Structure 1
Amino acid sequence: MFTTLPVRTVPGTRLSALMGESCQARCYHHQAIAQVGDGLVVSAWDADGVVEALELPGGNFVLAVQWHPEESLEDLRLFAAVVDAARAYADARVSTIETG
């Protein structure tokens, strides 16, 4: 069973741009991120201070969530963002190959 809990996004992050200042996360995890890797930033927290999302700032689309976005229609925008990023990456590669 999943638990739904409110998650606060960090202003200025990619996740915040996609989801707004907060969203409902469907979670079922017993582990949490203890240390954020070099270059990554926290983009969402739950009310208990648990990191719920990380991302890599900059051009490449790197976004990780600690919940199950496949369980929520609201979270479909995350999948759409991945597809959009993949499409933009592919278009840029084709353009580079054609002009290269």
Structure 2
Amino acid sequence: MVRHTIPQNTNQRINMNKLMEAHKRKLSPESSIVTAINGIADELYELRKENRDLQGELKNIAGSLDYVSQYLYDISWELKKNREKSVDTEQVIH
């Protein structure tokens, strides 16, 4: 088992910082391909996020339309029942 210890004295901290800086410099020069891939990944992430937002809005609209259609169906059902009652009463009168 490897145990990582925090450097106690200043020299060890300075050496650790130098090693970390050297490692960062070693990794820092990114190729144009890596930069392009990172840019595309960022754009895809934003598009997916916008798509999720749009999809949520479309679901809300669909729910509202479903509610309105159910309301209209109920109204038409009531109108049909009233029409049948009026036809029945007219037949009784005549």
- TM-score over 0.5 for the pair: no
When the two structures are superposed, what TM-score results if normalisation uses the length of structure 2?
0.33
When the two structures are superposed, what TM-score results if normalisation uses the length of structure 1?
0.31
Greater RCO structure (CA 8 Å; 6+ sep): 1
Radius of gyration: which is bigger? 2
Bigger proportion of residues as strand = 1
Bigger proportion of residues as helix = 2
